Amino acid sequence: MDDTRIRADLVDPSSLSALGRIEVVARWVVDGFMTGLHRSPRKGFSVEFAEHRTYQPGDDLRYLDWRVVARADKWLIKQFEEETNLRATVVLDVSRSMAWSGDPARITKLAYAERVAAAVSWLLLRQRDAVGLIRFDDQVRTVIPPKARSVHWRRLVGALSDPGSGQGSDAPGALMQAARMVTRPGMVVVISDLLVEENEMERAVSILRAVGHDVSVIHILDPAERDLAIAKTDAELVDTESALSVNATISEVRDAYRETVDAVIDEWRQRLTSSGAAYQPVFTDQPFGVALRQVFAARQHLP
């Protein structure tokens, strides 16, 4: 994809997802996002070359400036702006409710979230940060400890294709697993539709913040969950995780439903921000760059 014509981080997610595999889409999205950063006057979070330093035993030979070695017989390592050893963990919800879309023309919440997870991972790896992955439904399904090597990318992407099988979401349990994996203050990115118990989630986030972790929560929603965009006059509404159902006349409940959803989003924002986390609701018809900007903003504030 030619970044001079179109930025993938600003493209309709369903259209973009139809053009390639998860890892391809993630690279496109990050390339477009980085292009936007390079055109922006904002500074920081850059991978631009900054200066040399003398090679020390144990340094990665990939970052030797071989042209200097050949010309001057000096072993110098390239250093980059904002070079860090941040350890980050992406915590991805793969529960039953995530595998849903309110419109066949849109990708599911899970497909959207997987591509966001891949893009976030690739963005951080490009910054030479260590990235890990936890996938969960009613139990933790995948645990990949953070690493910074580029070959780690394939393992992360491969894990995204593994199935989940549980109906519920144990986000607090997954966050506690993340806390055990990241033994020093780092970054935790949660990607979920947040159909979880609010008090337990708030408590888990508070614990992570108390031990020094930066926490960003990406709340994935389908537009139909906000707008109740159902063509039928009457419908049976079913909770995919609890199996509870209720019959409703859509025209009579649409306005009240929208107000309830807005109130739930506001409550999550209040709960999570008061616990010290960053919170961003993202709808699956929005470009992937919306979620990426949230993580970027959080990353900028870290040392």
β-strands 214-221, 187-192 pairing: parallel
Asked if residue 185 belongs to a domain, the reply is yes
Asked if 76 and 116 sit in the same domain, the reply is no
More confident residue, 108 or 233: 108
pLDDT at 252: 64
Position 44 in a domain: no
Asked if 76 and 179 sit in the same domain, the reply is no
Q: State pLDDT tens for residues 49-97.
A: 445 667 666 666 666 777 777 777 777 766 554 445 689 999 999 999 9
Contact by Cβ (8 Å): 101, 119:
no
CB of 100 within 8 A of CB of 284?
no
**CA 244 to CA 264: how far, in whole Å?**
19
Domain that holds residue 219: 8-37+84-300
**Domain assignment of residue 14, yes or no:** yes
Note whether residue 222 is domain-resident: yes
Mean pLDDT estimate for the chain? 84
Shared-domain flag, residues 66 and 197: no
CATH number of the domain where residue 215 is located: 3.40.50.410
Residues 149 and 126 reside in one and the same domain: yes
For residues 170 and 295, state if they share a domain: yes
Q: In this structure, are 120 and 196 located in the same domain?
A: yes
| 234: pLDDT strictly greater than 90 | no
- Residue 7 three-state SS: coil
Residue that is last in its domain, among 80, 98, 131: 80
pLDDT band at 45 (very low <50, low <70, confident <90, very high): very low
Is 114 a residue whose pLDDT tops 90? Answer: yes
- Closest by Cα among 143, 145, 130 to 186: 130
Query: Taking the CB of residue 258, how many other CB atoms lie within 10 A of it?
Result: 13
Q: Which residue has the higher pLDDT, 19 or 254?
A: 19
Q: Nearest CA to 96 among 158, 169, 162?
A: 169
Return the pLDDT at 74. 72
Where residue 22 falls among pLDDT bands split at 50, 70, 90?
Answer: very high
Domain assignment present for 103: yes
Same structural domain for residues 225 and 248? yes
Domain membership of residue 215 (yes or no) is: yes
Would residue 1 count as lying in a domain? no
Do 292 and 198 lie in one domain? The reply is yes
Instruction: Kindly calculate the radius of gyration of the chain based on its CA atoms and give it in whole angstroms.
Output: 21
Q: Are residues 220 and 203 in the same domain?
A: yes
All residues at 6 or more sequence positions from 105 whose CB lies less than 8 Å from its CB, including other chains: 14
Tell me, what's the pLDDT at 163?
74
Residue 64 sits in the same domain as residue 201 = no
Check whether residue 25 and residue 72 sit in a common domain: no
| Residue 182 lies inside a defined structural domain of this protein | yes
Cα(171)–Cα(298) distance, rounded to whole angstroms? 20
Q: Mark whether 149 and 261 lie in a shared domain.
A: yes
**What ranges in the chain are assigned the alpha helix state H?**
13-17, 22-39, 66-72, 109-126, 152-160, 171-181, 198-210, 223-227, 250-274, 289-300
Given pLDDT bands bounded at 50, 70 and 90, which one contains residue 131? very high
pLDDT grade, residue 161 (50/70/90)?
confident
Q: Is 55 exposed, middle or buried (0-12, 13-18, 19+ CB in 10 A)?
A: middle
| Reported pTM | 0.80
**217-236 average pLDDT score:** 79
> What per-residue string of b and e applies to 14-41 under the rule 16 or more CB within 10 Å gives b?
bebbeeeebbbbbbbbbbbbbebbeeee
Structural domain count of the chain: 2
